Amino acid sequence: MKALGIVGSPRKGGNTETITSHALKALAEEGIETELIPLAGLRIEGCTACGACANAETCPIDDDLLPIYHKMKEADCIILSSPVYFSSATALIKGLMERTGFIGRNNGRVFKGKTGGPIVVGRRGGQNFTFAQMNYWYQILEFYMTGASYWNIAFGRNKGEVANDQEGLDTAWSFGKNLAYLMKKLNA
C-alpha cells in the first residue's frame, strides 16, 4: 500500500512540507510505502473547462500535472497539504484539485475508495476554512476519510516554525496513524 503527500506550497522545504513529512513518517512506521511530492517549482495551471477530459483520461494543458495525476491514481492514500494564502488554499494545490478531480470523475471515478485528507498550515488565521475547503474535494470524489486528534491544522510563519507547534505535529501524527489503520482495514 502506498501513501502520497502532495505539498501545495510554492516554498520548497517550508512548514507544509515539514508537517506532511511528519504524517507520512507515521504511515511509514505502520509499513505503508510513502512518497512526498512538493509542488514547489512546478507549474500547475487551473482548469480551463475545455471538457477534453470527458472524452479521454488526459488534460491538454502542457504543464507538470499529468505525471502527478498518474501517481495519485496508483496510490491508496492521498494527503493534500497547503499553506493558508489569504484564508484559502494556494493556487498550486487548487489547480491540482480542480484538474485531477475533473479528470478522475470523468474517467471512471478513479479516486473512489482511496483514503486521505488535507493538512493545512498558516501563520495566524484561515486554517479551518482552508481545511474545510479542501475536504470538499475528498468528499465528492468518494474517498474514505478519517479524523485525527484535532483538525489537521498547524501554525507557523517562517520556514521551520511549525516544528514549535507540538499540537499541530501530534495531530498530523495521529492523522497518519488513523489513515494507516483505515487502509489496513479496507485491504483486509
Ligand X SMILES: Cc1cc2nc3c(=O)[nH]c(=O)nc-3n(C[C@H](O)[C@H](O)[C@H](O)COP(=O)(O)O)c2cc1C
Q: Where on the chain is the footprint of ligand X (CB under 6 A)?
A: 9, 11, 14-17, 83-87, 121-126, 156-157, 159
Q: Minimum distance from CB of 17 to ligand X (Å)?
A: 6
Distance CA 54, CA 51 (A): 6
Q: Minimum distance from CB of 82 to ligand X (Å)?
A: 8
76 CB-near residues (< 8 Å, 6+ apart):
1, 2, 3, 32, 114, 115, 183, 187
**Judged by CB, which is closer to ligand X: 83, or 116?**
83
**Cβ 165 vs Cβ 127: under 8 Å:** no
Cell of 36: 512526498
**Judged by CB, which is closer to ligand X: 58, or 87?**
87
Q: What is the DSSP letter of 152?
A: S
Sequence letter at residue 96: L
**Judged by CB, which is closer to ligand X: 85, or 137?**
85
Distance CA 154, CA 149 (A): 12
**Judged by CB, which is closer to ligand X: 23, or 121?**
121
Q: Minimum distance from CB of 25 to ligand X (Å)?
A: 17
DSSP characters over 51-88: -GGGTSSS----SSHHHHHHHHHH-SEEEEEEE-BTTB
Q: Minimum distance from CB of 89 to ligand X (Å)?
A: 10
**Judged by CB, which is closer to ligand X: 14, or 116?**
14
Q: Minimum distance from CB of 50 to ligand X (Å)?
A: 28
Secondary structure class of 165 (helix, strand, coil): coil
